[in-house]
Amino acid sequence: MDKDIATPVRTKAVLDKYGFTFKKSLGQNFLIDTNILRKIVKNAELTEMSGAVEIGPGIGALTEQLAKVCKKVIAFEIDHRLIPVLKDTLSPYPHVSIIHQDFLKANVNQVLRDYFSDDQEISIVANLPYYITTPIIMKCLEDKLPFKNMVVMMQKEVGDRIVAKPGTKNYGSLTLAIQYFTTAEIVLHVPKTVFIPQPNVDSVVVRLRKREKPIVEVKDESFFFKVIKSSFGQRRKTILNNLTNSFEQGKEKKELILACLNLAEIDPKRRGETLTIEEFAKLSDVLYDNFK
């Protein structure tokens, strides 16, 4: 068999063969380091019975490494120009299926039902396009996809926000949404030099392990996230000001919001970034009782 797809020589040969040019609008940066790909796959903790889902396979470098270790791989690719390339590069792996769809618009739960058995452990493993990293992760969580873990490469800055602690500048609504559904850790730092074309930023690989149930119990999940989002409306403002500005009729109901904060034992002068997820859960439930 040919050398791994991820080697610089093989990648260049594939690109030349198809006259492929990178589209900046699709955030295409292909990995040319097999060692890093193998580390990504290792962190997904796959077995020979596992299923893997990839988003944006490019020319199949990571897809190939996934195919070597697990039972079934499906990959969502939006760029029609890459479909014939993938058919060629992944031809030695009949257990790989390419889905020519926009992941963000796809009914992913249905696709998973079509390709995987009910009892199969599924991991989402991907080198995510930087410009849509957050929407992809949030779709996986909000659609309640049945994954065991997600091992995804992203811009270091986004990774830092995902694993941030309360009271730090990186801590925000993304941190809390991910903490609610998963446990998150950075498992790998990836230099820009292992991609073509080279991105302007360094990358990290983050592993999200899905919790059996959310870390806190709340009366209404969507209201809970609304409270969180509102609390970070303007980072420099107090939580009282942010909630007053973003809640419907908030200005007229400022006294009620203040009373809710006191009831939840949260100082109204604090900023949203200082609250733990447990404090947000408590506040959300009190506000829910008074605003719904």
Confirm if 291 and 226 have CB atoms less than 8 A apart.
Answer: no
Confirm if 155 and 182 have CB atoms less than 8 A apart.
Answer: no
Nearest-angstrom CA–CA distance, 194 and 21: 18
Instruction: Please report the beta strands in the chain, taking only residues with DSSP state E, as ranges in sequence order.
Output: 30-31, 51-55, 72-76, 96-99, 122-127, 149-155, 182-190, 195-196, 203-210
Cβ neighbours around 249 below 10 Å, total? 10
Q: Is 29 annotated as a binding residue?
A: yes
Q: Is 127 annotated as a binding residue?
A: yes
Confirm if 274 and 242 have CB atoms less than 8 A apart.
Answer: no
Structure tokens at 264: 């939840």
Pick from 292, 176, 165: which is nearest to 225 by CA? Answer: 176
Q: Is 102 annotated as a binding residue?
A: yes
Nearest-angstrom CA–CA distance, 42 and 284: 39
Burial class (CB in 10 A: 0-12, 13-18, 19+), 5: buried
| CA angle (247, 248, 252) in 5-degree steps | 95
User: Residues with Cβ < 8 Å from 75, sequence gap 6 or more?
Assistant: 53, 54, 55, 56, 57, 60, 63, 86, 96, 97, 98, 99
Nearest-angstrom CA–CA distance, 253 and 250: 5
Residue positions forming the annotated binding site: 29, 31, 56, 77, 102, 127
Residue positions forming the annotated binding site for S-adenosyl-L-methionine: 29, 31, 56, 77, 102, 127
